Amino acid sequence: MISRLIILSMILVGCGNHEEKLPIGVFSGDNVYLSDISNASVISLSTYEAYTATLIENFEQYVLVKEALEEGYKNNQNVKQKLYRWKNDYYNQILIKHEVFDPVRTDSSIYEIYNKMGKRVGLDNILIKHRGSNKSRSERNIYTAKQLADSIWTEIVSDQLDFSLAALHFSEEPNSSGRNGFMGFIEYGKMLPEIIDVIWESNVQMYPKPILSDFGYHIVRVRSSQIVPLKSLSEMRNTIITEINSGNSHEIRAQYDKLEKSLITYYDINYFRENITLLFDQAYEIWGTDKDIVLADIINLNSSLPVVSIGGIEKKMEWINGIILKMDHKILDTMIPYRYDLYKSIKTILNQLYGAKTVQTKPYFDSKHFNKIEKNYFKAVIIDEYIKDKLLVDRGIKKEIILNQLFIKYNVKYYEDNIKKTYNQLVKDIR
Tell me how far apart the alpha carbons of residues 382 and 421 are, in angstroms, rounded to a whole number: 10
- CA dist 17 and 278 (Å) reads 45
Provide the pLDDT for residue 392: 43
| pTM for this model (two decimals) | 0.39
Q: How many CB atoms are closer than 10 A to CB 92?
A: 14
Q: What is the DSSP string of 182-206?
A: EEEEEETTSS-HHHHHHHTTPPTT-
pLDDT in the model for residue 3: 25
Q: Is the pLDDT of residue 393 over 70?
A: no
Average pLDDT over residues 223-241: 79
Is residue 144 very low, low, confident or very high in pLDDT (cuts 50, 70, 90)? confident
β-pair type (7-10, 216-227)? unpaired
What are the percentages of helix, strand and coil residues in the chain, rounded to 5?
A: 60, 10, 30
Query: Partners of 126 in the beta sheet?
Result: 219
Strands (E) in 266-346, as ranges, are: none
Helices (H), 121-179: 142-157, 163-170
Percent of the chain with pLDDT over 90: 5
Rounded mean pLDDT, 351-358: 41
Lowest mean pLDDT among 199-213, 242-256, 276-290: 276-290
The CA distance from 283 to 273, in Å, is 16
Place 108 in a pLDDT band, splitting at 50, 70 and 90.
Answer: low
Neighbours of 157 (CB within 10 A): 15
Sort strands 211-213 and 40-44 into parallel, antiparallel or unpaired.
unpaired
User: What is the model's pLDDT at position 217?
Assistant: 92
**For residue range 299-333, what is the model confidence (pLDDT) as tens digits?**
333 333 233 233 444 444 444 444 444 443 334 34
DSSP state letter for 210 = P
pLDDT computed for residue 81 by the predictor: 56
> For residue 354, is pLDDT > 70?
no
For residues 207 and 224, is the Cβ–Cβ distance under 8 A? no
Q: Cβ(405)–Cβ(361) under 8 Å? A: no
Query: CA–CA separation, 7 vs 164, rounded Å?
Result: 48
Mean pLDDT value of segment 204-220: 84
pLDDT at 115 (0 to 100): 78
Kindly report the backbone phi and psi dihedral angles of residue 286, in degrees, each rounded to the nearest multiple of 5, phi listed first.
-70, -45
Q: What is the mean pLDDT of the chain?
A: 54
Cα(105)–Cα(190) distance, rounded to whole angstroms?
20
